[in-house]
Structure 1
Amino acid sequence: MRLTHTYTRHWDIETRQHELLGIDLGEGIPRKTLRYAAAICGTWWALWLLLFGFPPARAVSLFLAPPIALTWAGSKRSQTYWRRTNLLVWSVRIAYLLRGIQPVLGRGRIPGPRLGLRLRARRLGERVPQLPRMPGLEGLFGSEGPDATHTDGEPFRTRPRVRLYGPDAVAKSHRKRRRRTTTTSTKES
């Protein structure tokens, strides 16, 4: 069996920050990682300051460690999708869990119903029977009421007609189109 090597992963071009606020960073931090860090740290610190105020001296590690660890783990390349970062893969999974697969209605102009969260909660309640019995969670994980998959009505069924066109039919349609374009051009002039 013959083995080959792929060198494209080693040739990955990435913009790096070689200097930040006048401080030389050496090889530099990737700019995407800096963007992730700014967004994650800013959000974390804003929520912390809003909920708890300034941290005491003992809680500074709790204030600094989680966003730095999340940035470090999230900016690494995913093992399953090597072109994506872990943070992007995690956000796609969370979006799927929250929204699910939504139907396309009116070529995307009409938003689809939000059934995905209800369906997942019901399935989770069926898999873990203790969840619907917990106080306060009966309505979320319970299976009472109509099935949420059928609340929008019956599925729309179509009967497509399959037509096979040969080269003679295609040539005929080209001749018709040519005639139509020549007659409209002569009428305009």
Structure 2
Amino acid sequence: MTMAENTTRTAYTVESLLAVTVEVFNERGYDGTSMEDLSKAAGISKSSIYHHVRGKEELLRLAVGRALDALFAILDEPSATTGEPVDRLEHVVRRTTEVLLTELPYVTLLLRVRGNTTTEEWALERRRDFDHRVAELVRDAVTEGQLRADVEPRLATRLLFGMINSIVEWYRPGSKAPDGVADAVVHLAFDGLRAR
């Protein structure tokens, strides 16, 4: 009897399969991952995977969709829709950082898509839409005199996202309290951007 035959199989749901899939995609890259790789990592047959999803691209869409849905939900939160533009922007920056930390594997995967498939093109388009909506908040805050006018709004937006997105490269869960990371991002960004 092999070890696999000796152990009880985990009952997979789409959610648990997705967690394994994202880990493998982040390790090997989407293009470098086969359904066989996913089957081995999950410890289930390929046919069991196909019982839950149509294929690898659907898994990618579910994974990056989870990250995108969490990011777009921030823009509908009361603190992102009412109040002074600079306060709304600060809320969005803090919450974006928190979502990145909470959904780290999913956001990491989202940041690595390059547009090689229909799903990746869709994800990049949604990311651009999110970026544009945040850039509007930056412009509004500059127009209201709440942020420095000498930093072009699109550049400020790119720098903010550059700082936030770089977290996926160095942050490891358990290495620092997630609240400390979000506080540091907000303080660094807004101490430098606020109009004086």
By the TM > 0.5 criterion, same fold? no
In the superposition, the TM-score normalised over structure 1's length comes to 0.26
In the superposition, the TM-score normalised over structure 2's length comes to 0.25
Q: Which has the higher strand share?
A: 1
Q: Which has the higher helix share?
A: 2
Higher RCO (C-alpha under 8 Å, 6+ residues apart): 2
Larger-Rg structure: 1
